[in-house]
Chain A
Amino acid sequence: MSLWSRWVSLLDRREGGEPLALVRALTGAVILIILWRDWGIVEPLWLHVDHGGYRVLDSPGWLIAQLGGCTPEVIYGLMTTCAVSAALLTVGVLPRLAALACLQLLLALTRINGHASGSDDLLITNALWILVLADSAATLSLWCRLKTGAWRSTRQVMAWPRYLFIGQLVLLYGTTGLQKVSAHWVPGGDLGALYYILQQPAWMRRELPWLADVYSLTQLATLGTWLFEVGSPLLLLAYWYRATRQRSGRLRSLLNRLNFRTAFALTGVSLHAGIHVLMDIGPFSLITLAMYPALWHPDEWRARLRLSSEPQQRPQPTSPPRTPARPAE
């Protein structure tokens, strides 16, 4: 079998829809949080100077230009529409359309004032594009409930959007790690990066007068963060080794024994929890963590959540079942 054939075969796989449903619901919820947080700062940051903004915004993008510019009616209208779309995405109704609407609206809004935009905006739109392509409401959605009478379904969905979420996480961590080239980051230096970053007034959540007392801990955290990010491509290797666990090899055996993926996820959650407690960099950690459910196969989610592979159907008290229960697919 050629490499291309194997690639085609990999992307042709189907599986249960639980991970994508969880990513979809969490992404929608994060967008609702973002819109709620941004609602109060619309006037200075996103409105035209004639309507109370501080920068002249003459080229805000095609959508806003078509609608009449950065006026309060247009901007609050777009935010409201985006919130409705995010709510639909969260509950899983017309998810592709809802994701597309959220994507285009967030692109329009966050491009108004590039100075007030950050990496979280980029990550959200990337997640939304994958959700546009994914069948994310096959299960754990209102759509599923309306169509089948049950919240859960065993309907199989394409697995490749889940793979893209995993790839996005690895790309995010890996390339940010490779770009941490400061002498304060890389091993062999003073490992003082986090100590100094946590003193930057732009990003600190509050003053940390005790920081110098725990300098050694910040050095350890610096090294841990750098190794986690630079080493994140190993996650892809861990998946490969997991899928080929019957083969021999010391590294394969080691990574499988360590359960590298769980260690990766726990480290990532700890990293983002630390960022959230000590820094204010917007919803970056939330949207990153919203992609984490994609790390596990649907069968693993079912096992962890103690879900049976058969969904519970809504009871039909008016008439007895006329056909036997459909076997699991």
Chain B
Amino acid sequence: MPPSTAFWPHLRALLVTAHIIAVFAAAFPSPTGGMNRSTWKDPTVQAEMVAWGARLSIPPDELETRLWRLAKTFMASRAVILAPFQPYYRHAGTHQAWNMFVAPHRNPARLHIELDRGGDWETIYISRDPTLTWKAPLLDHSRARAALFRYSWRHYRGSFRKLGQWLAAEAASDFPGADRMRLRWYRYQTPTPQQVADNTSPPGHFESARTYSLEALR
């Protein structure tokens, strides 16, 4: 067998092995995207701490502290391990992050968009409402859903504000008679089956309201 023929299968096996190690290391379970301590105070996360604390017989506060320390150490080690592969991820598009639906968000929020035409506020869009559909082709698109899901968290409020400015400019053009536009989130707890049966779904509340004068945008 010629040397070149004998050499290539080994090199190929080496390269394929390197690929497998790289993608496995990136895909290995990690709290990527969850290393913001303020998000751990969200009721959904806190409910998980209570549930797991009860299961493991550890007080929720202590469990949270332990997990935070573990997560920080783990993420620091992970960064070191992934560092040599970063150019491969970046240029070959081989990064992996499959932490999808790790937990149901029990306290989601719906975007409400409202107009002031000189009287009461008039709602023109609510997420997933089939009758209030202003800008729905954009706001219901899967890419916009991904962005809006993020913007319902407080630490994305800067980007939410920018989206609000863009929507206000669109509203100024689409509704010449309107004076103001308001954006706000309606946050609520998703009801349990029992609450649905008893018709005792917990009430929600509006938050993060932003009002824009449309006159200035015309």
Contact = CB atoms under 8 A, between A and B. Distances in A.
Interface in B74-99: 92-99
A237 interface: no
Given A45-B144, A54-B162, A183-B55, A215 B99 contact: no
Contacts of A7: 13, 17
B132 interface: no
B98 to A, nearest CB: 4
Contacts of A212: 191, 193, 196-197
A180 B156 contact: no
Contact of B101 (A122, A168, A193): A193
A196 B138 contact: no
Contacts of B166: 44, 53-54
Contacts, number: 184
Contacts of A194: 104
Contacts of B95: 122, 125
Is the interface on chain A under 10, 10 to 19, 20 to 34, or 35 or more residues?
A: 35 or more
A204 to B, nearest CB: 6
Contacts of A126: 23, 93-94, 96
Taking residues whose C-beta sits less than 8 angstroms from the other chain, chain B's interface range is 35 or more
B77 to A, nearest CB: 17
Interface of A: 4, 7-8, 11-12, 37-38, 40-41, 44-45, 49, 53-56, 103, 106-107, 113, 115-119, 122, 125-126, 128-129, 160, 164, 167-168, 171-172, 175-176, 178-185, 188-189, 192-197, 199-204, 206-207, 212, 215, 280-283
B29 A182 contact: no
A196 B102 CA distance: 12
Contact of B105 (A53, A168, A200, A281): A200
Nearest to B19: A164
Given A44-B166, A118-B142, A129-B92, A175 B29 contact: yes
Given A55-B162, A193-B103, A280-B142, 7 more contacts: A115-B146, A115-B159, A122-B96, A122-B97, A125-B95, A195-B104, A201-B110
B28 interface: yes
A231 to B, nearest CB: 16
A113 B103 contact: no
B137 interface: yes
B151 to A, nearest CB: 8
A106 B93 contact: yes
Ranked 5 nearest A-B pairs via Cβ: A125-B93, A182-B103, A282-B142, A196-B104, A54-B166
Contacts of B52: 183
A111 B98 CA distance: 17
A176 B55 contact: no
B144 A11 contact: no
B157 interface: no
A178 B100 CA distance: 10
A53 B201 CA distance: 39
A113 B150 CA distance: 12
Nearest to B167: A54
5 contacts: A45-B147, A54-B167, A172-B96, A199-B190, A206-B128
